[in-house]
């Protein structure tokens, strides 16, 4: 019988492919440059990003899965709130206190997973 640690590894392995495919589709929809993609994923290395794009990884770190989960939630929430302009919204300057005149993408690409969380919370709050 597998223990909890084994189950977590298997879950992450099962989630890696679909999570990365979804992330790169969102990155394309948002028109993200490689550097922006790397910052959202918490990556330092361009070669790692390229490997992930090619599907050359079986399991990504928990941190990367968490980041992708936030990006997916932001994407989904925006498409509910702003069906016609959702993908452009991330680059537009935002006067909300959360963004201080910067765009959501600027906040999200700070490198801190907490900033992805804050943007996700903001989008969810706008949905009600």
pLDDT in tens, 71-86: 999 999 999 999 999 9
- What is the predicted pLDDT for the residue at 127? 87
Provide the whole-model pTM: 0.90
Q: Model confidence over 92-105: pLDDT tens digits?
A: 999 999 999 999 99
- What is the predicted pLDDT for the residue at 7? 53
- What is the predicted pLDDT for the residue at 95? 95
- What is the predicted pLDDT for the residue at 9? 55
Give residue 73's region: left, alpha or beta (phi > 0; psi -120 to 50).
Answer: alpha
Cross-strand pairs, 79: none
């Amino acid at each position: 019988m597998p223990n909890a640690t084994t189950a977590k590894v298997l879950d992450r392995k099962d989630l890696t492919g679909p999570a990365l495919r979804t992330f790169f589709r969102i990155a394309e929809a948002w028109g993200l440059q490689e550097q922006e993609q790397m910052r959202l994923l918490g990556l330092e290395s361009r070669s790692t990003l390229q490997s992930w794009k090619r599907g050359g990884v079986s399991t990504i770190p928990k941190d990367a899965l968490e980041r992708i989960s936030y990006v997916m939630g932001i994407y989904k929430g925006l498409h509910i709130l702003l069906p016609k302009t959702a993908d452009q919204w991330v680059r537009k300057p935002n006067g909300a206190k959360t963004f201080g005149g910067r765009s959501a993408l600027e906040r999200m690409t700070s490198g801190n997973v907490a900033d992805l969380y804050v943007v996700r919370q903001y989008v969810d709050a706008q949905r009600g």
